[in-house]
Amino acid sequence: MCRRLSWAPVTEIPEHLLKRSKAARAQAEGGTPPAEGAAATPGTTPATAASAAPAVPTPAATPAEPVGPPPAKPDIPVVAAAKSRKKIPFWAFATLSTLPLWAFMYVRALTPTTEKIPGPLGDGAEIYSGCSSCHGSNGEGGVGYQFSQGEVLKTFPHIEDQLRWVYSGSDAYAVAGVQIYGDPKRPGGAHITKAKGVMPAQQGQLTDAEILAVVCHERFTLGGADQVGANQKEFDDWCSVDSPAWTALEDGSATFENIDTKVPGAIKVGTAPAPGSSAS
């Protein structure tokens, strides 16, 4: 038995409504709606339509300017002047460092050098610096008696008496009761023990050779004794570089106790106070 099919009438949708519906769907899905009047391509998906559209590049962000330190404050005038002043070049420091040495050498070159006199006169000049405070730097006298202008030769016409006096000192003479230690007939009067100042004993302070040296300096350098005239024999026997008295005392082969045995015709010196002798 056959069933009879009934057919419902189909309503046809207008074309313009389909286009509008597709355009709204494409816009909702991010695609580009088809142009007015363009036929829709069957099977084209919204994704394909979207990928076909050209991409618009996004402008790059401008990097931010780096923030630097604040500008330095200008120098004060004193500092600015110091910085602008010309500096000494480094190579000049080596030259400047040698200036003290050159100055020392220059002063030494201008300083007169005194050549030391050999023998007892040279040694005596150095030792006499300890006597100058009493007798004057040039033997002009002061607290002690004068040596210059022949005064020492008037007091001690014989060197042996002066050696004994310097060795023992005024206190020993006073204790021994010896008042006149030099020439008793001295012009102007004899010098008396402790009449002017005190003569300190040099025994234990100076050697016998050093006492001879300072006495030679007082007689021949300060006192004006003549090395080649009236006092030549004394100089040759006692105060020259190769004199027998100086040589014996210097090498220790003699002392004041027996030095007279080394010098022909000498007066005994000894180490004990004794009265002085006259010139004649």
In a domain, 145, yes or no: yes
State in Å, rounded, how far the first CA of the chain is from the last one: 206
CA 173 and chain centroid, separation: 52
- Concatenated DSSP letters of 62-112: PPPPP--PPPPPPPPHHHHHHHHSPPPPHHHHHHHHTHHHHHHHHHHHHSP
In a domain, 257, yes or no: yes
Q: What is the pTM of this model?
A: 0.61
Q: Report the CATH number at residue 138.
A: 1.10.760.10
In a domain, 5, yes or no: no
Q: Which domain holds residue 176?
A: 120-261
Q: Which residues contact 75 (CB under 8 A, 6 or more apart)?
A: 83
Segments in the chain below pLDDT 70: 1-13, 30-68, 88, 90-93, 111-115
In a domain, 278, yes or no: no
In a domain, 164, yes or no: yes
In a domain, 266, yes or no: no
CA distance 276 to 176: 13
Which amino acid would we find at residue 132? S
Please state, as a whole number, how many other Cβ atoms lie within 10 Å of the Cβ of residue 136.
18
**pLDDT tens per residue, range 169-210:** 999 999 999 999 999 999 999 999 989 889 999 999 999 999
**pLDDT tens per residue, range 65-104:** 666 677 777 878 877 777 777 776 766 667 777 778 778 7
In a domain, 70, yes or no: no
